[in-house]
Amino acid sequence: MQRSILTRTVRLALLLAVLFTAVACDQSPLFYSISNETKRKTAAVPGTPSRTVRMVTSGSIFVANGKLLKRTGSDWQGASRPDGGLVRDLAGIGDTLFALTVSESDLATKIWKSTDDAVSWGASAIQLDTAASGYDSFDSLFTAGPAGSEILFVGAHKSDSDYVILRYDAGASALVPEEDGMGAGGILTGAAYLDLTGEYFLSTESEGILRGTTLGSLTPETGTVDSSFILSGIISVDTDSTAGTDTLVAVGRGESLLLSKDGNPFTSHNKGYIFPGALAVYADGTMNQVLVGIQDGTTYGFMEIDLTALSDAADATAVTLNKVGGTSSSTGDYSQFAGSLGTEAVRSLAYYTIPASVDTATYGIVFASTVNEGLWSSTNRGNWNLES
């Protein structure tokens, strides 16, 4: 009896061993991933940074996390702020840097302009046109337009239910209304310009994507006005290297991805990821990807859309989001990414080629601004870590 139980137990243990061995083979290698982790550096830009902005002539890169910081070469240093307020958002057109500041005392917001790498700022903030009177609570800054003639678009509101999009043309004296009379869903979340048709596209949370060639008369695009989208960003991309940008990708917190090709109407598809709105094009001549910030349970960071595949995609349903990593990705090693930036919520992405005239050698760098975890980067498809 005793031997029988022992024998059965040993047999059961062996059976379990065989069973567990059999089910194990196609699972993700956790120990391997852990062995590829890297220690986080001390953040040069801690907190929740804004988008990065690069000046065309100097090559200086700016980011704001309350303070304004400037990257010269590979070093981050504090830059002068336009007033005593916290810098909430940045935008750049050519060599002009725009900064949205918030007063710590009365929460008043202002928009400032510098044309000399933030060495000096305008004597006064950019004013509101009388037609935009009262819309002095600024939320966000975006730029879009033909190369060399971009327009600054500003999301603003008068009250919690009265939103507006303002426009600032180069050389103009004041911010003028681009679209007004929008409700709470009228928060400006992105701007893009399609070279192929010469149209502007402004995405709002739930008032749809405003579209048109003539500023001042943009209209909501059919099929994009859906409160479930909760649109968070839009980007224009060149999928065929001819005639400039030809495709638009918009994303939303409602898990939808919207696609418009060659100026055709948008199609949408639920991709099963929350999209915080971070979008960038990574094109180094060999790897050509659209980087898309994602959130899925405990998985964060970003995924990629291959530009060639995007060119072939008939509609949003056919767009495939790929994990980063591999020979055609913006990031070489997925497991290192997964254990670093892949754990953080990304609010903006940007890719730049840094010329040897700015740093010691030419290289490509992707910046990722995270929520509460600082500014991250990856150089030449290498490991992700905090900018230090």
Partner 1 sequence: MSIRALRPAFMAAFLLCLGVFAMAQESEAETPAMEAPEESEPLPIDSEWDGPAPKLYSKGDKTFIINLGTILPLFFYSAEGKVMDNKLSIGGTGSLNYNYYFNSNMALGGEFGGSFSGTLGGNMLFMMPFGIKGTYHFIASPFEFPVSLMVGGVTQSYLGTDYFGLIVKPGAAAYWRFNPDWSFGLNSVWWWIPQWTSSATTTSYGNFLELTLSARYHF
> Where do contacts with partner 1 occur on this chain (CB under 8 A)?
2, 5-6, 9, 12-14, 16-17, 20-21, 23-40, 297-299, 338-340, 342-343
Nearer to partner 1, 98 or 384 (CB): 384
Nearer to partner 1, 20 or 242 (CB): 20
Considering beta carbons, is residue 17 or 119 the nearer one to partner 1?
17
Dist CA 2 CA 50 (whole Å): 70
Q: Quote the least distance from Cβ 15 to partner 1, whole Å.
A: 10
**Distance between CA 307 and CA 281 in Å, rounded?**
9
Amino acid at 238: D
For β-strands 151-159 and 137-144, DSSP reports them as antiparallel
First-to-last CA distance in the chain? 68
Using CA atoms, how far residue 333 sits from 153, 326, 362, 374, 383, in Å, is 37, 7, 21, 21, 7
Burial of 220 (0-12, 13-18, 19+ CB in 10 A): middle
> Count of alpha carbons within 13 Å of 237, Cβ hemisphere only?
27
Q: Please report how close the Cβ of residue 233 comes to partner 1 at its closest, in angstroms.
A: 24
Which residue(s) pair with 143 in the sheet? 152
Q: For partner 1, give the closer residue by CB, 36 or 322.
A: 36
Beta bridge partners of 270: 256
Shortest Cβ 194–partner 1 spacing (Å): 37
- Is the Cβ of residue 102 or residue 321 nearer to partner 1 in the bound state? 321
Nearer to partner 1, 34 or 170 (CB): 34
Least Å from the CB of residue 286 to partner 1:
24
Q: 3-class secondary structure for 114-141?
A: ECCCCCCCCCCCCEECHHHCCCCEEEEE
Lookup result for tokens 């800054």: 141
Nearer to partner 1, 37 or 104 (CB): 37
* Tokens encoding 86: 């916290």
Q: Which is nearer to partner 1, 24 or 147 (CB)?
A: 24
Q: How far is the CB of 68 from partner 1 (least distance, A)?
A: 28
Residue 199: both structure tokens together: 């149209």
**Distance separating alpha carbons of residues 196 and 266, to the nearest angstrom:** 15
Please tell me the distance from the alpha carbon of residue 154 to that of residue 111, in angstroms, as a whole number.
Answer: 9
Kindly state the DSSP code that residue 103 receives in the 8-state scheme.
-
Nearer to partner 1, 205 or 387 (CB): 387
Is 186 or 342 the residue whose CB approaches partner 1 more closely? 342
Instruction: List, as one string, the DSSP characters of 346-375.
Output: EEEEEEEEEPTTTSSS-EEEEEEEESSB-E
β-pairing, 279-283 vs 288-293, is antiparallel
Residue 372 CA to residue 136 CA, distance in Å, equals 27
In the complex, the smallest distance separating the C-beta of residue 343 from partner 1, rounded to whole angstroms, is: 6
Per DSSP, the three-state class of 285 is coil
